[in-house]
Structure 1
Amino acid sequence: MKTFRKITQQKVAKLTCDVCHLEATIDDGYEFQEFISIEHTCGYGSIHGDNQQISLDLCQHCFSKMCVDNLTIIDPFKPQTPEQLEYDNIFQAITQSKNEATELKDNSDIKISIRDILSNQIITNLEELQTALKRVKRLWDAKKCGQVI
């Protein structure tokens, strides 16, 4: 003979991002499933206070924006070897560090400015002189790597 008792369970039905306030219900599928929820009990000496409870709910977009330079994405179906390429997937390639992107932009801006100065064959002001000197410094510090600088 079996005797049953009724048990009440709570299940998360809706999540709200603590940053952008995007709401996703369990019926929203992917967006709901990709929320990142962190719950933590602080230990002794924590900057948040001893034994305090902290929680954070982030949509996948805010999580990516906040952690983009620190994320390591691992494909569970691809064996990890020490001789990996720098980027394993398109997400890592697209979200390379902001410093690298800024440096690429600065290099391009200097090259365009130098092209304009050289096409005129004259430096007409202090800003053009500084731009030319920046380009010369980059060329001076460049290492031979088989690329045209």
Structure 2
Amino acid sequence: MKLLDAKPAPFVQLILCDKCGGEKQHQEPGFEEFVCIDHHCGYTTVEDDGKHIQVDLCYACFKEMLGPYWRVKYNWITAIEPNPSKLKT
């Protein structure tokens, strides 16, 4: 028999955009839209060899900075919404 107990786990309460300084609390709308990059540079990286780089960006700054380079492979919203033109009446 196993007796389970719950331990509090750490979580992000507040996130700040490293570009514009905007912030969102954990329960606020838009909190989930922040993009957090956590990257370990490889040992063949010219200037940042072995560095650990982190950046947190709000969606607006992320889209402004990287939007022109996006490659959208799949849109899950349109995949679950019915297409009215394909519905039989």
Tell me the TM-score normalised to structure 1 length: 0.45
Judge conservation of contact 1:42–1:48 (CA < 8 Å) in 2.
no
Other structure's SS at 1:51 match: coil
Query: What is the one-letter code of the residue matched to 2:24?
Result: A
Other structure's SS at 2:27 match: helix
Q: Which residue of 2 aligns with 1:37?
A: 36
Q: Which residue of 1 aligns with 2:69?
A: 70
> Map of 1:5-16 to 2, 5 A cutoff?
7-16=7-16
Structure 2 residues not aligned, in runs of 5+ = 81-89
Query: What is the count of residue pairs matched by the alignment?
Result: 77
Q: Radius of gyration: which is bigger?
A: 1
Query: What is the one-letter code of the residue matched to 2:40?
Result: T
Structure with bigger strand share is 2
Q: Which residue of 2 aligns with 1:27?
A: 27
Query: What is the one-letter code of the residue matched to 2:60?
Result: H
Structure with bigger helix share is 1
**Percent of pairs identical after alignment?**
30
Structure 1 residues not aligned, in runs of 5+ = 79-149
- 1:18 matches 2:42: no
Q: Distance in 1 between matches of 2:9 and 2:24?
A: 20
Q: CA deviation at 1:20?
A: 0.2
| Structure 1 stretches of 4+ moved >2 Å | 1-8, 47-51
Query: What is the one-letter code of the residue matched to 1:22?
Result: G
Residues 23-67 of structure 1: CA distance to partner in whole angstroms, max 9, x if unpaired? Answer: 0011112x1011000001111122453321101100000011101
Q: CA deviation at 1:2?
A: 3.6
Q: CA deviation at 1:3?
A: 4.3
RMSD over equivalenced CA pairs, Å: 2.2
Other structure's SS at 1:37 match: strand
- 1:55 matches 2:54: yes
Q: 1:48 to 1:10 in 2, by over 3 A?
A: farther
Q: Which has the higher contact order (CA 8 A, sep 6+)?
A: 2
Residues 84-138 of structure 1: CA distance to partner in whole angstroms, max 9, x if unpaired? Answer: xxxxxxxxxxxxxxxxxxxxxxxxxxxxxxxxxxxxxxxxxxxxxxxxxxxxxxx
